[in-house]
Amino acid sequence: MNVFRRLTRRPSLELDDIQATVLRARPEPYFGTHAILEITDPGGGRELLRRLAPLVPSAAHWDEPRASWLALALSYHGLEALGVPEGTLASFPANFRAGMAARAERLRDTGPNAPANWEFPFGTPHVHVAVTIFADSETAWRNEVAAYERQLHDLAGVRLLSHQDFGATGFNVFGYRDGFSQPVVEGSGAERLPGGGRPVKAGEFVLGYPSETGQALPAPGPDVLGRNGTYVVFRKYHSHVAAFNRFLHDNARTEAERELLAAKLVGRWRSGAPLALAPEADNPALGEDSRQINNFGYRDDPRGLRTPLGSHIRRMNPRDGKLEVLSDVNIRRIIRRSTSYGQPLPATDLRDDRESRGLDFIALGARAIDNVEFLQSEWVNSGNFTGLGKEKDPLISLQDKGAYFTVPGSPPRRIQNIQSFNTLLGGEYFFMPSLSAINWLSR
Ligand code: HEM
């Protein structure tokens, strides 16, 4: 769902140089493919960029429908494999250069989520280029894939390591509508929607513009490489939907109670309607209403009686709620372009069918890497910031034995034996260059 529907002001960002995906919302329904490539020869890598450049549209007209598009990003190893000069490589931030696997401790990616258990090629130095194709129909998707394959079929010096198709109606494999609470990027021309918060400075999402501190964030040099680029965090999860369904059945007697518990875990009903506005019963019309779906805060619910303090969306964006450990929430915002893969499992299915299904979490932003590292360590895998001690995010954390989830109320309910409902299968940090940077890198 594209919640931002109209351009109200003239954009001040250089939209025709920024990749479309930065501002263009995922279509609904959506179809697509993620491909990961290795550059085995620098000349082949540069030729790859030359050939793909015409398929990567800009963010100009991001609010108008488009049947399909392609996004392209490079890992640090990818920039090395292209033969980018040493001084330029050194101008990238340390966590990007280290890569996601090396940052596992900070990300709390331990135990089953540790890099040693990841799928190939994640966590290996072979991951160089990530290409994503988004489309709004199966036909448009197949056409875009065919155009991409035509460009690459005879290309030497580049190897396809993996590809994964994705697609959904706008509801993820757990049955929740997702991907619609996004920051308003100042200067993009997006209208400000009720409750969406004030527009966030463009420099938080695109390199080369003032950030929330007033200064542009450090960008890799030269200017043609850094300006209008951004960072991407990609994390592939396998979702344990049957375990999630069993958890709801074990802790609620009726379907209505189960749906309320499902809403308490996320902070929204599966329809997308927020508990803050629909605390007692689902209101699917709210989930369809792009002007109302984000029209709420938490200031009037300090104890979490409507939206639990520990629910996924209240953790990931505390909005105007009071925090025990202070943080500026406007520098913690990310643009999400996550995609679902595999068939959803109905809420009535309690047995694991061993099918592959889950979510590719994709975060974009000038601070995306720092922010996901912060979110993972402080707001996902700890409860201290909101007075919940050891309690963790009920949806995406790695739960310890004996973990629980608190539903505030009189009396509060502590729901025992919450499990890890998503296991990390791998991930990587990427740099998403501007259109002029793609050309610069291909020379
Ligand atoms: C399998 C993994 C995940 C699932 C199933 C999931 C599911 C959801 C759902 C259903 C929503 C509410 C609708 C929406 O605005 O999209 C949401 C929101 C959100 N999620 Fe996740 N999520 C996952 C992983 C993550 C991760 C890894 C992060 C960050 C580290 C994250 C950050 C957020 C943020 C920032 C929001 C928006 C909160 C708001 O603005 O109110 N999610 N997620």
Cα distance from N-terminal residue to C-terminal residue, the chain: 38
Residue of 336, 337, 397 best suited for mutating to test ligand 1, as the one with most atoms within 8 Å of CB: 336
For residue 168, what are the β-bridge partners? 30
| Token pair of 198 as six digits | 């004030």
- Give residues with Cβ within 8 angstroms of 412, minimum separation 6: 406
Structure tokens at 301: 């619910």
Of the pLDDT bands very low, low, confident and very high (cuts 50, 70, 90), residue 10 is confident
CA of residue 366 to ligand 1 center, whole Å = 19
CB neighbour class for 281 (10 Å; exposed up to 12, middle 13-18, buried from 19): exposed
> Given pLDDT bands bounded at 50, 70 and 90, which one contains residue 328?
confident
Residue 241 CB-half CA count within 13 A: 22
Query: Domain residue spans in the chain?
Result: 15-237+428-441
**Residue 430 pLDDT exceeds 80:** yes
Model confidence at 258: pLDDT above 70: yes
pLDDT tens digit sequence for 107-166: 999 999 999 999 999 999 999 999 999 999 999 999 999 999 999 999 999 999 999 999
Distance, CA of 183 to chain centre = 12
* Pick from 144, 418, 79, 122: nearest CA to 261: 418
C-alpha dihedral sign at 269, 291, 67, 150: negative
The model's confidence at residue 327, banded by pLDDT at 50, 70 and 90, is: confident
pLDDT band at 9 (very low <50, low <70, confident <90, very high): low
Helix then strand count (H, E) for the chain reads 14, 11
pLDDT for 5: 64
Q: Is 121 helix (H, G, I), strand (E, B) or coil?
A: coil
| Ligand 1: nearest atom to the Cα of 173 | 5
**C-alpha of residue 331 to centroid of ligand 1, in Å:** 17
Mean per-residue pLDDT over the chain, rounded: 96
* pLDDT of 358 over the 80 cut: yes
Tell me the per-residue pLDDT of 77-124, one tens digit each, with 9 for 90 and over: 999 999 999 999 999 999 999 999 999 999 999 999 999 999 999 999
DSSP state string for 20-54 = HHHHSPPPSSEEEEEEEEEESSHHHHHHHHHHHGG
Question: What confidence score (pLDDT) does residue 193 get?
Answer: 84
Percentage of the chain beyond pLDDT 70 is: 99
Amino acid residing at 185: V
The pTM score is 0.97
pLDDT on residue 180: 94
Mutate to test the pocket of ligand 1, among 313, 320, 378, 422 (most ligand atoms within 8 A of CB): 313
Ligand 1 environment, Cβ below 6 A = 172, 174, 176, 178-181, 235, 237, 239, 266, 268, 312-313, 316-317, 334, 359, 361, 372, 375-376, 380, 395-396, 422
Averaged pLDDT, 256-269:
98
The residue contributing the CA closest to ligand 1 atom 8 is 178
For the cut 90, the answer to whether the pLDDT of residue 397 exceeds it is yes
C-alpha to C-alpha distance for 212 and 195, rounded to whole angstroms:
19
Taking Cα atoms as reference points, which of 221, 232, 270, 23 lies closest to residue 131? 232
d(CA 41, CA 372): 32
- Cβ 131 vs Cβ 35: under 8 Å: yes
- At 161, which helix (H) or strand (E)? strand 158-168
Task: Check whether 3 has a pLDDT greater than 80.
Answer: no
3-state secondary structure of 435: helix
What is the pLDDT confidence band of residue 6, given thresholds at 50, 70 and 90?
low
Neighbour tally for 184: CB within 10 Å: 18
CB contact at 8 A, 180 and 26: no
Contact 23, 62 (CB under 8 A): yes
What atom of ligand 1 comes closest to residue 174's alpha carbon? Answer: 5
